[in-house]
Amino acid sequence: MTRPSRALRLAAAAAAAALALSACGSDDDGGDDTSSDSGSESSAANVYFVDGNTADYSEDFDEGTLEGVKATYPGADIGDDFRDRLLEVDPDLDSFTYGPESYDATILVGLAALQAGKDSGKAIGSELSGVSNAPGTQCSGFSECADLIESGEEIDYEGVSGPINFGPTGSPTAATIGIFEYGADNTFSPVDFLTGEIAPTDAQAGQEITGNVPNGDGTLTIGSLLPESGDLAFLGPPEVAGVQLAVNEMNEAGGVQGKDVAFTQADSGDGTPNIAPGETDRLLNANVDAVIGAASSSVSLSVIDKITNAGVVHFSPANTSTAFDTYKDKGLYFRTAPSDVLQGRVMADLLLQDGHQNVAILARQDSYGEALADQVEQFFTESGGTIVAKTLYQPDAPNFTAEVDGIAGEDPDATVVIAFDETKKIMPEMISAGIGPN
- Rounded to the nearest 10 degrees, the angle between the axes of helix 99-116 and helix 142-150 is 20
Domain end residue (candidates: 301, 336, 371): 336
Q: Note whether 279 and 419 are same-domain residues.
A: no
Q: Note whether 189 and 159 are same-domain residues.
A: no
Which range marks the domain in which residue 308 is found?
99-167+207-336
- For 89, the 3-state DSSP assignment is helix
Q: Note whether 240 and 361 are same-domain residues.
A: no
Q: Note whether 254 and 141 are same-domain residues.
A: yes
Q: Note whether 267 and 315 are same-domain residues.
A: yes
Q: What is the pLDDT of residue 382?
A: 97
User: CA 175, 267, 238 angle in degrees (round to 5)?
Assistant: 45
**Is residue 41 predicted with pLDDT exceeding 50?**
no
pTM of the model: 0.85
Residue 109 covered by a domain = yes
Mean pLDDT of 312-330: 94
C-beta separation of 310 from 285 below 8 A: no
Q: What share of the chain is helix, strand, coil (3-state, %, to 5)?
A: 30, 20, 45
Look over the chain and give the mean of its residue pLDDT values, rounded to a whole number.
89
pLDDT digits (tens, 9 = 90+) for 5-17: 222 333 333 333 3
C-beta separation of 364 from 420 below 8 A: yes
Q: Note whether 296 and 411 are same-domain residues.
A: no
Mean pLDDT of 237-257: 98
Q: What is the DSSP string of 243-263?
A: HHHHHHHHHHTT-BTTBPPEE
Mean pLDDT of 162-174: 90
Q: What is the DSSP string of 297-364?
A: HHHHHHHHHHHHHTT-EEEESS---GGGGS---TT-EEESSPPHHHHHHHHHHHHHHTT--EEEEEEE
pLDDT digits (tens, 9 = 90+) for 130-139: 999 878 999 9
Q: Note whether 15 and 156 are same-domain residues.
A: no
Mean pLDDT of 418-437: 96
Q: Note whether 128 and 238 are same-domain residues.
A: yes
Q: Note whether 224 and 269 are same-domain residues.
A: yes
Residue 296 covered by a domain = yes
The total of structural domains in the chain comes to 2
Domain end residue (candidates: 336, 369, 398): 336
